[in-house]
Structure 1
């Protein structure tokens, strides 16, 4: 039974993994975002319709949404992204 479960797992997990190319090289890129500064050319910032985003983003990008949820805390952003990658079936341990 254990062999059958292991064989099924080896067959099924790669098919369920979302975007396997993200970690195919063994490296997972984790994007972080800080709260930013004022820039006259950028759409975001405190005086715009996108008030909770950093200056050069609208706030609707995946990295921006993670940063806003984590209140721009780099540790929380990293932990959240690693958890997401793990839930999508990517190998996130450094071994």
Structure 2
């Protein structure tokens, strides 16, 4: 059994006797195993592996505790933004950023922009990678609102 798998087993046992305080648990585990505090994505990934192997039963409380940024899927719908390829915009707005290789009105450093840039602005790959990331964070991805953004997409030729 890996260290991560043992941590999940410890978490299940710990929740049976303690009030759910994930921060306290992570500090205790870090001391016990002499490791840095484990992040939630690693724990939830390991939890799902153990479920798949049928080594543990489904633990709704653990899923709730480990979900990162629960507000993202609170309504039951997750939002995914897909950026179009940069295309020259005819407008010359003073306030609009004009970074090379990035759709106008967006700036590098924004998560959706970086993801699009790294994936060559491929809409399918952007969507796929974002869904994978949301699943790893513990979000349900059955209902998705897909937003196509890029600011210059309306300036594309009509051909």
Q: Pick the TM interval, shorter chain.
A: 0.7 to 0.9
What is the deviation of 1:81?
0.4
Residue in structure 2 matched with residue 81 of structure 1 by the alignment: 130
What is the deviation of 1:52?
2.9
2:97 to 20, 31, 43: 43
Confirm or deny that 1:55 pairs with 2:104.
yes
**Normalising by structure 1, what TM-score?**
0.76
Kept after mapping to 2: 8 A contact 1:52/1:59: no
Residue in structure 2 matched with residue 29 of structure 1 by the alignment: 79
Equivalent residue pairs, number: 85
**Normalising by structure 2, what TM-score?**
0.48
Kept after mapping to 2: 8 A contact 1:36/1:54: yes
Between Structure 1 and Structure 2, whose CA radius of gyration is higher? 2
Greater strand fraction, Structure 1 or Structure 2:
2
What is the deviation of 1:91?
1.1
Deviates more, 1:73-82 or 1:18-27: 18-27
**Unaligned stretches of 5+ in structure 2?**
1-15, 17-55, 144-159
RMSD of aligned residue pairs (Cα, Å): 2.0
What is the deviation of 1:72?
0.6
* 1:19-54 per-position Cα deviation (integer Å, ceiling 9, x unaligned): 11211211111101112333433223xxxxx42322
Confirm or deny that 1:6 pairs with 2:57.
yes
